[in-house]
Structure formats: structure tokens, C-alpha cells
Amino acid sequence: MKRPDVKVFVSDIFQEKAYLIYSDGNAIVIDPGNCYNSIIKFVKNKHLNVLAVLLTHGHFDHCMSCKSFQENGVLVYIHSLDADKLYTDGNLANMFGIHFDKLFANRTIEEGELCIGNFELLILHTPGHSAGSVCYIIDNYLFSGDIIFENGIGRTNFYDGDYKQLMQSIQKIKPYLDNGYKLFPGH
């Protein structure tokens, strides 16, 4: 499989970044945010088939349009420890006074390898920002969610955040970044 292309969309809520990874007519979405319409427009233009929505964690700013994807037959994946955030106040939407369409994930994931269509992914469990935060590695791309940004690290002051765990998680992905993997952060 040739190196997939990545298209970035930016949510107008907290500038959350949604990523569409595509190759050979198939695509996966990482953290759609509230970008459903713009992603679908792009997908239709390029005649892509969206195979899955993968979430780095369950905070609402990353997950807002999951329900729309799911209602259109796209499976939603999230780590088991963040799965309940999709239908509880754990997604923090209420805290920010924002409407969130609740849903149940189609698949819960753990650390390890995952194949979706032609896409081969490595999932790293990287808690600290939330208990079920993960990073996804595809080719030499690393999608970090909210554990690390271009200029800083994620917040740990939410109820299941943990600073020490976050530091350990950053150590876990550091070798990839040192080896030239390209970072695609959540904001």
C-alpha cells in the first residue's frame, strides 16, 4: 500500500483537528469533531468510501459528529476506557454547555494492531489526558489526540486525567517522534 494521503479539517469548536486518511478509494476518519459536512463533501468529491471513525479519546470536541457518521453506516471505534464518554457527561459537553448527540461505539479497542480494510494501524494506549486516550500510528504518521500538541502537552485536570500517566505516555511516543514520524495533534 502506498503512503496514504491526509486531509485536515478544523472544527470551529476549540480548533479541534479532524483527519481524513485515504488511499485507493478508501478512507478512515480520526476524530471527526463537528466537521461532518465538510468531510462528507470532500469524500464525495474524491469518491471515497469511509470505512471507520477512530477516536483518540471521548471528549466531545473530538466526537461531535460521530453520531452522523454512525447513522450513515460508518463504524465508530474508541478505547474501552473512554467508551462510556460517548453517552455520559464524561465527554464534557455539558460542562461547556454544548449539545452532544450521544451514541454507543460500534467497537472498543485496546493497545495493539488493528486492520481496517487496507489500513494497518498500531494503537498505543496513552492515558493521562483521559483514561482511554490512544495514539494511532499509520505508516509514519502519528495521531496523538490531546496528549501532545505542536507547542505543549494536553490538560490533565479533568476528572480522569493524570499528569504522571501523561508524562509516561509522552515517553512512550517519543521514540517515534525522534525517529521522524510526523505528528498530527488533536488541536
The single residue among 114, 123, 142, 146 that binds Zn ion, judged by CB under 5 A, is 146
160 lies in the site for Zn ion, by CB under 5 A: no
Least distance from Zn ion to the Cβ atom of residue 133, Å:
8
Residue of minimal CB distance from Zn ion?
Answer: 59
Least distance from Zn ion to the Cβ atom of residue 49, Å:
27
Q: Given the rule CB under 5 A, which of 71-79, 102-110, 141-149, 174-182 is the region that contacts Zn ion?
A: 141-149
Least distance from Zn ion to the Cβ atom of residue 159, Å:
12
CB-CB contact of 28 with 43 (8 Å): no
Closest to Zn ion by CB, 13 vs 122, is: 13
113: cell is: 494492531
31 lies in the site for Zn ion, by CB under 5 A: no
CB-CB contact of 57 with 43 (8 Å): no
59 lies in the site for Zn ion, by CB under 5 A: yes
Give CA separation, 91 vs 3, 53, 97, in Å: 33, 17, 12
Q: Given the rule CB under 5 A, which of 2-10, 32-40, 60-68, 175-183 is the region that contacts Zn ion?
A: 60-68
Least distance from Zn ion to the Cβ atom of residue 138, Å:
20
Looking at this protein, which amino acid is placed at residue 81?
Answer: L
Kindly tell me the burial class for residue 42, based on how many C-beta atoms sit within 10 Å of its own C-beta (0-12, 13-18, 19 or more).
Answer: middle
61 lies in the site for Zn ion, by CB under 5 A: yes
φ and ψ at 131, to 5 degrees?
Answer: -65, -35
Quickly tell me which residue has 490512544 as its cell. Answer: 134
Q: How many CB atoms lie within 10 A of CB 2?
A: 7
- Which residues contribute to the site for Zn ion (CB under 5 A)? 59, 61, 146, 186
